[in-house]
Structure 1
């Protein structure tokens, strides 16, 4: 049995930055986020590269100048946050010991209107990130939908 997801009981109601199948219209948005969103805004995560999974993307920290990931900043409705956080941690195989496919990190993103916001971002877990650095599957546009 995997360890409990990190910060699941004390996460604070941060919005989520989503960049792949959890974006509006994506297959996992329909299952896990549709009807739970209070606000959805276009946003960008700087300092990260988007890689093809395949079938779903991974965000990997990357200091290359200009590297960024296009996505959405999603704020959930009150009452939807706890169940959605748990469901997303399960979906992303996010584990407290960082052995899952993804890790959830609090990072700064910028909305299309220039507002800087802290958000939960699912990044590639350490083993996945190491594989992608060794054998990149870079999506140069940084946009999963408009590759």
Structure 2
């Protein structure tokens, strides 16, 4: 597992979103709050059944997930494996785990942190690794509007 990391919430934008296949597998019982959020300065591209976010002049829609107390390190390890993140700059990474500022959207939070909120939060985000980003920029298919859920109906529905 990559080195020790600060406990931050996670910004998710693809198969970890509520209603998507990896949400219950990885987040059920490990998250206490989920709130709609935006990742500015990023573009979303289609992948083989899951999306990639890269740096760019756009906004990606997603959810800010707060880990349950004491579950952050375990969740980080599970997500690192899912996203094939082996460490900062590792040549075999599929994604890089980076800290970015996300904008919280007004709306219902789920979990014990029920309520509404706006503002910003620092969060872990998995962006496409450099080699994947180069490929996406030259021959990738952008997701219009940066919202994975609007490109197709959510899984299982």
Q: TM-score, normalised by structure 1?
A: 0.90
SS in 2 for 1:103: strand
Q: How many residues align?
A: 138
- Say which of 102, 117, 120 aligns to 2:121: 117
| Off by >2 Å, runs of 4+ in structure 1 | none
Alignment partner, residue 50 of structure 1: 44
SS in 1 for 2:45: strand
The answer to whether structure 1 residue 77 and structure 2 residue 71 are counterparts is: no
Query: CA offsets, 1:29-54, max 9 Å, x none?
Result: 11111121111000000110000002
Q: Out of 122-131 and 94-103, give the one that drifted further.
A: 94-103
Distance across 2 between alignment mates of 1:133 and 1:102: 15
- Say which of 131, 134, 139 aligns to 2:135: 131
Distance across 2 between alignment mates of 1:25 and 1:13: 25
Query: CA offsets, 1:11-62, max 9 Å, x none?
Result: 1110000000011111111111112111100000011000000200000100
For structure 1, the residue ranges without an aligned partner over 5 or more in a row are none
CA RMSD of aligned residues (A): 1.1
The answer to whether structure 1 residue 41 and structure 2 residue 35 are counterparts is: yes
Q: TM-score, normalised by structure 2?
A: 0.84
For structure 2, the residue ranges without an aligned partner over 5 or more in a row are 107-117, 152-157
